[in-house]
Amino acid sequence: MKSRLMNIIPGALVLISLALAIKLNINWLWLAAFVGANLFQRGITKWCLLEIILTKLGVKD
């Protein structure tokens, strides 16, 4: 379950930030940039804050 959420949550955040950038303010693209940078960092270091948060919330693998 956690591995699915590790894909769903960042994907949803990117789509939401794109919609908000179109509808409200272009600065919402910074959220998409942050999510992308976090995914890049996760690929290199294998450390992810979202995984730690999900573990503390009790989400099982």
Q: What is the pLDDT of residues 8-58, one digit of tens each?
A: 999 999 999 999 999 999 999 999 999 999 999 999 999 999 999 999 999
Count helices and strands in the chain by DSSP H and E runs: 3, 0
Give the residue numbers spanning the domain of 43. Answer: 2-56
Q: What is the pLDDT of residue 34?
A: 95
What is the per-residue pLDDT for 15?
A: 97
Number of C-beta neighbours around residue 57 at 10 A: 9
Predicted confidence (pLDDT) at residue 2 exceeds the cutoff of 90: no
Q: Is residue 33 part of a domain?
A: yes
pLDDT at 1 over 90: no
Let me know if residue 61 belongs to a domain: no
pLDDT at 61: 83
In a domain, 23, yes or no: yes
Domain count, the chain: 1
Give CA–CA dist 8/13, Å, rounded.
Answer: 9
